[in-house]
A = this chain, B = another copy of it.
Amino acid sequence: MSDNERRRAGRHFLQIPGPSPVPERILRAMDMPVIDHRGPQFQKLGQRVLAKIKGVFKTDSHVFVYPTSGTGAWEAALANLFSPGDSVLMYETGHFATLWKSMAQNLRLRPEFIGSDWRGGVDVERIESRLREDAGHSIKAVCVVHNETSTGATSRIDEVRKAINAAGHPALLLVDTISGLACTDYRHDEWGVDVSVSGSQKGLMLPPGLGFNAVSEKALAFARKAETAKQFWSWEGMIPHNARGFFPSTPATNLLYGLDVAIDMLYEEGLDHVFARHQRHGEATRRAVAAWGLDTICLDPRLYSPVLTGVMLPEGHDADRFRAIALDHFDISLGAGLGRLAGKAFRIGHLGDINDLTLLGALAGVEMSLSLASIDCRASGVLAAMEYLRETAAAEAA
Q: What is the interface of chain A, defined by CB distance below 8 A to chain B?
A: 3-4, 6-16, 18-25, 27-41, 66-72, 74-75, 79, 84, 102-103, 106-108, 199, 201, 207-209, 228-232, 234, 248-255, 264-266, 268-270, 273, 277, 327-333, 335-336, 353, 355-362, 364-365, 367-368, 371-372, 380, 382-383, 386, 389-390, 393-394, 396-397
Contacts and interface: CB of A to CB of B under 8 A. Distances in A.
Given A7-B277, A18-B36, A106-B229, 12 more contacts: A7-B269, A11-B25, A13-B35, A19-B253, A67-B67, A68-B68, A209-B254, A252-B252, A331-B355, A372-B393, A372-B394, A383-B383
Contacts of A353: 11-12
Contact of A397 (B4, B252, B357): B4
Contacts of A253: 19, 207-208
A389 B368 contact: yes
Contact of A19 (B14, B15, B34): B34
A34 B207 contact: yes
A31 B23 contact: no
A393 B329 CA distance: 6
B6 A33 contact: no
Contact of A327 (B40, B255, B270, B362): B40
Nearest to A359: B361
Number of copies: 4
A231 B362 contact: no
19 contacts: A10-B25, A14-B358, A16-B358, A19-B253, A20-B34, A21-B33, A22-B34, A34-B207, A67-B208, A69-B252, A72-B232, A207-B254, A208-B250, A252-B252, A357-B358, A364-B386, A367-B386, A371-B390, A372-B390
